[in-house]
Amino acid sequence: MRPYDNKKVLIFLGGNNFLEGLFDTNNIKFIRNFFDLKLSNFSHVLMTIITPRRLSSEQQKVLSAREEQLKKIAYSNMATIDFCHIYGRTPQSIINASKEIAKKTKFFQKRYIWAQNYFNCILGVLLKNKLPDTYLHFELLGLVPEEELFYSESTPMSRVIKFIVLRIIGRIDLYFSDSISVVSNQFKRYIISKYRLASVSIDVTPCLYDEKMFFNDPEARVRFRRKYDISDQQKLILYSGMLQKWQKPDMLFAFIKQLQKQDVNHELRFILMTYDQKRARQYRSKYTIKDLIIDSGIGDKLNGVYNAADIGIACRSSDMVSKVSSPVKIPEYLATCNSIILLESNGDFGIGLKTKNYALVKKNYKDFLNTSIREVNGLKKPNDADLNNIYDQYCLQGNLSVLKKIFAKQK
């Protein structure tokens, strides 16, 4: 990757295996947004891809297709992109990757590293050690040590060991990073208090929705309500997302069940948009819930379902993992004119939406499960002023100045 123009290079240390769905919605999306939104003027990108050591012929085709997709994005913006494959999250793979990246980028005048989460930031620290004039930005998306401790499927001893190791890695990452971004103001206050960091070095970048993907569409609302046989008099309540431990699926289905018990006039309908469809059907059977629509979708279909709905549900744990989080589903619900029901512990949203007439903020699990149909029917829709405020705070296109400022920090 020897540049002929000898300019700066963006080293994007992406955090997802290319076989995961999040590789498309996170890593590829980062590159596309970086170029399309002109966040900075890098003409070269080097991107890491987490890759299994042994690939089947079919997996190799998938990898090649995704790399070709990324090359086309870069080429259409008169830039180049190269890749470094990281074979698993092991110490040896980090060392090998740091050597390869240093070799590929040593000829550039400037190097800017954008590292997503703990593992990749340690790689960034090693690169700074090899190439001291390299700038390192650490994007903190969540409390990974606590996620491992509370929600991993590993044995208790393994969870504790991984928690301690990740805590140590996190301290190293924070110490050597030139700048940091977190997803909520609560997260910023937490790490400032815990690690005695300077406030000026930390930017808040919530998980932002894309207005090109989620927007008010009255025609889609009519079409998708007809598809799911929702009458004009009924309210459609939507849950969109996975059904992992921290998303409290038992609480979600118990909530749906108790609302259905109150709904003697069949005023409410419920839909789940999830790729955990087998698990969703199991929970539907466990709670003997009738007339629950289970579906999945992306792109226009997902936006159509969001527009068909009237109320979105944000269901999460009430621990520190959720208190510092920024669930992107919440602004997506709001951007498509849904009211919302959520817990107070849902990041900045639980506090910031308390006074809004389109939000029902419940104090705890018991309060959530005691939601009455009268409360649900009393919710308003976001008006034009609300939508403008939601755009300014939580839309990707409305927060370009913050993102550009982060890239401009390298002197």
E strand segments, 105-256: 111-116, 135-139, 179-182, 202-204, 235-240
87-124 pLDDT, tens digit per residue, is: 988 889 999 999 999 999 999 999 999 999 899 999 99
Question: Are 132 and 232 in a shared domain?
Answer: no
Angle between helical axes of 57-76 and 29-36 (0-180°, round to 10): 10
| Inside any domain, residue 401 | yes
**DSSP state for residue 382 in the 8-state scheme:** P
CA distance 356 to 380: 9
| Inside any domain, residue 312 | yes
CA distance 170 to 173: 5
| Inside any domain, residue 1 | no
If one counts the domains in the chain, the total is: 2
C-alpha distances out from residue 274 to 196, 271, 384, Å: 39, 10, 29
| Inside any domain, residue 4 | no
Coil/strand/helix, residue 311: strand
47-80 pLDDT, tens digit per residue, is: 999 998 889 999 999 999 999 999 999 999 999 9
Question: Are 114 and 173 in a shared domain?
Answer: yes
- Burial (0-12, 13-18, 19+ Cβ within 10 Å), 321: buried
Question: Are 183 and 141 in a shared domain?
Answer: yes
Of the chain, the end-to-end C-alpha distance in Å amounts to 23
CATH of residue 223's domain is 3.40.50.2000
| Inside any domain, residue 262 | yes
Does residue 209 have a pLDDT over 70?
yes
Question: Are 189 and 226 in a shared domain?
Answer: no
Does residue 45 have a pLDDT over 90?
yes
Taking CA 248 as the corner, what is the angle to CA 246 and CA 253, rounded to the nearest 5 degrees?
160
Phi, psi of 238 (to 5 degrees): -115, 135
| C-alpha count within 13 angstroms, C-beta hemisphere, residue 28 | 19
| Inside any domain, residue 62 | yes
Which residues span the domain enclosing 111? 9-208+397-407
Question: Are 64 and 43 in a shared domain?
Answer: yes
Global pTM exceeds 0.85: yes
Question: Are 122 and 158 in a shared domain?
Answer: yes
Question: Are 63 and 147 in a shared domain?
Answer: yes
| Inside any domain, residue 213 | no
